[in-house]
Amino acid sequence: MKLTRLIAAALTAVCIFTLTSCKQEDTQTTANDYPVHVADTVVDHRPKKVVSLAPALTDTLFQLQIAGRVVAISDYCDLPAQPGDLEYYEYPRAGTQQLPDIDAIKELGADLVLMTAQPTDAVALELQQANIDFVVIPPASDLEGVRQNYVDLFRLLYGEETGAKMAEEYLVPFDHKLAEIQSCLDAAGEKNISTVYVAGGLLQIATGDSFEGYILELLGTQNWGADYTNYSYPQEKEVDLNPDVIFYNGMISGETIAASSCYKTTNAGKAGAIYEIDPENLERQSPDLLDTLWTMGKLLYPESFVHNEPGQPWESSPASMGYIPDEEDTAEPETTEPENPDEAESQTSSEEKSSSAA
pLDDT value, residue 11: 39
The pLDDT-based confidence of 24 (bands split at 50, 70, 90) is very low
The pLDDT-based confidence of 337 (bands split at 50, 70, 90) is very low
Lowest pLDDT segment from 15-24, 82-91, 207-216, 258-267: 15-24
Q: Return d(Cα 168, Cα 189) in angstroms, integer.
A: 30
Q: What angle do CA 200, 203, 208 make, to 5 degrees?
A: 90
29 DSSP 8-state letter: -
pLDDT value, residue 3: 52
44 DSSP 8-state letter: -
- Give the tens place of pLDDT for each residue, 220-273: 999 999 999 999 999 999 999 999 999 999 999 999 999 999 999 999 999 999
pLDDT value, residue 311: 62
Tell me what percent of the residues of the chain surpass a pLDDT of 70: 77
Q: Phi and psi of 163, rounded to 5°? A: -65, -40
Could you tell me if residue 236 is left (phi over 0), alpha (psi between -120 and 50 degrees) or otherwise beta? alpha
Write 331-334 long-range contacts (CB < 8 A, 24+).
Answer: 333/71, 333/72, 333/91, 333/92, 333/108, 334/49, 334/71, 334/108, 334/109
Residue 84: Cβ within 10 Å count: 6
DSSP codes joined into one string, 236-266: GGGGG---SEEEE-SSS-HHHHHHSTTTTTS
pLDDT value, residue 81: 72
> Residue 264: CB partners within 8 Å, gap ≥ 6?
258
Helix or strand holding residue 51 (H, E): strand 50-52
pLDDT value, residue 28: 63
The pLDDT-based confidence of 134 (bands split at 50, 70, 90) is very high
DSSP codes joined into one string, 301-315: -TTT--SSS-SSPP-
Q: Return d(Cα 27, Cα 154) in angstroms, integer.
A: 12
Single pTM value for the model: 0.79
At 38, is the secondary structure helix, strand, or coil? strand
- Give the tens place of pLDDT for each residue, 260-308: 999 999 999 999 999 999 999 999 999 999 999 999 999 999 999 988 7
Q: Return d(Cα 297, Cα 307) in angstroms, integer.
A: 11
Contact 39, 136 (CB under 8 A): yes
Lowest pLDDT segment from 68-82, 200-214, 332-346: 332-346
What is the rounded average pLDDT of the residues 162-171? Answer: 95
What is the rounded average pLDDT of the residues 96-125? Answer: 97
At 335, is the secondary structure helix, strand, or coil? helix
Contact 234, 206 (CB under 8 A): no
DSSP codes joined into one string, 83-105: TTSTT---PPB-B-SSSB-HHHH
Q: Return d(Cα 32, Cα 161) in angstroms, integer.
A: 7
Could you tell me if residue 321 is left (phi over 0), alpha (psi between -120 and 50 degrees) or otherwise beta? alpha
Please give the residue that has the higher pLDDT: either 83 or 101. 101
What domains can be seen in the chain, in order of their start residue? 4-176 (3.40.50.1980), 185-300 (3.40.50.1980)
The pLDDT-based confidence of 321 (bands split at 50, 70, 90) is very low
15 DSSP 8-state letter: H
Burial class (CB in 10 A: 0-12, 13-18, 19+), 285: buried
pLDDT value, residue 30: 75
Contact 32, 161 (CB under 8 A): yes
